[in-house]
Chain A
Amino acid sequence: MTTRIVELRRGILKKNDELAAGLRESYAKAGVLVLNLVSSPGTGKTAFLERTLRDLRAQGMRVAALVGDLETDNDARRLAASGAPVRQINTHGICHLDAEMIGKHLDGWAGVELSGLDYLFIENVGNLVCPSSYDLGEKIRVALLSVTEGEDKPLKYPTMFNSADAAVITKMDIAGPCGFDRELALKNINEIRPGIRIFETSAKTGTGMEEWLGYLAEARGV
């Protein structure tokens, strides 16, 4: 027997990264802007997305959503009320979405073609840790944080906020009663991801939605 060191220098998530690269290419070819929404459970991703889908549809945009949860299709039913096509992905215990799940659910999605969409939203499993490692081929990763969660969330989960392209603060309508320290939250997000675009929103009252929709239009290059 001889001992030998074999240099591999290979990405552990290479398979996911390759699948994600393929998806990214197909999104670009179809001309659809894809966003991946990540946050803790309870931040209000679904409410924020419901509002976004509804507002974009009112502008005449063609939108669709994939939504990940461990179990139940509750979120898909909520989002479908916007009139947009929505497909639920149940991960059955897996704490994140990966590129393979996205590919599988895009294939054979009755009535939905990527080329027929302006925006595709992917609502990830509520988890601020694991989804950060898995590229879904998205153009924009959006990290959400609600006013009820504590201003130090970005410091506690730096990977997620650092890997995000945009940050959304949700539930701004109850910021006052929650004693939310806005300045501190903005400072913490900027400490982890300097220069990131931050949107202060309320899905309930519509606060900040105009700016958010403007950003989406800008990101599509229109």
Chain B
Amino acid sequence: MHELSIVTSVVESVTESLAAYPGARVLEVRLRVGALASVVVESLEFCWGIASEDTPLEGSRLVVNVLPVVIHCAACDRDSQLDGVQSFRCAQCGEPCGEMLQGRELEIESVEIDEVEETA
């Protein structure tokens, strides 16, 4: 439900960081989103066009890389990747695990731009 706010933040943040590349056109924006980040990838994509309209990001592609949850087991001192988000138990020993190493990310990974070459 808050995906439009999320992509709006992405557009603002990318626009800000593009100040170092005047006139650049954005081709692609890549996000890293944890499986437990509570955002719907399809909604992000749907909102992308609306949020990027009339900005330097208009017409760019949004690529969302979903990261699975990784937990650390205190009982056996091992990490395991979870298949889903329904049970937080160690894949090796079955103990419940409270410590999460990955899965809640909401990050802008990188931006692909077409740079305007300096003319001397």
Question: Which A residues form the contact surface with B (CB < 8 A)?
Answer: 1-15, 94-96, 127, 129-130, 132-133, 155, 158-160, 162-163, 190-196
Contacts and interface: CB of A to CB of B under 8 A. Distances in A.
Contacts of A194: 88-89, 96-98
Interface residues of B, number: 39
Nearest to B105: A11
Interface string B80-120: 00000111110000001110100010111111111111000
B107 A195 contact: no
Q: Which of B6, B38, B96 has the most CB of A within 10 A?
A: B38
B47 interface: no
Contacts of B98: 193-196
**Do most interface residues of chain B lie in helix, strand or loop, or is the interface mixed?**
mixed
Contacts of B86: 155, 158, 191-192
Nearest to A130: B2
Contact of A159 (B13, B37, B107): B37
Query: Dominant SS at the A interface?
Result: mixed
B1 A162 contact: no
A158 B34 CA distance: 13
B108 A8 contact: yes
A96 B114 CA distance: 36
Contacts of A12: 6, 9-10, 13, 31, 106-108
A162 B110 contact: no
Given A130-B2, A195-B98, A3 B113 contact: yes
B111 A95 contact: no
A195 B96 contact: yes
Given A4-B113, A12-B13, A191-B87, 18 more contacts: A1-B115, A4-B112, A6-B112, A7-B109, A8-B110, A12-B9, A12-B108, A13-B6, A15-B9, A130-B2, A133-B39, A155-B86, A158-B86, A159-B37, A159-B38, A192-B88, A194-B97, A195-B98
Contact of A3 (B9, B13, B114): B114
What are the 5 closest A-B residue pairs judged by CB atoms, nearest first? A194-B96, A130-B2, A159-B38, A158-B85, A12-B106
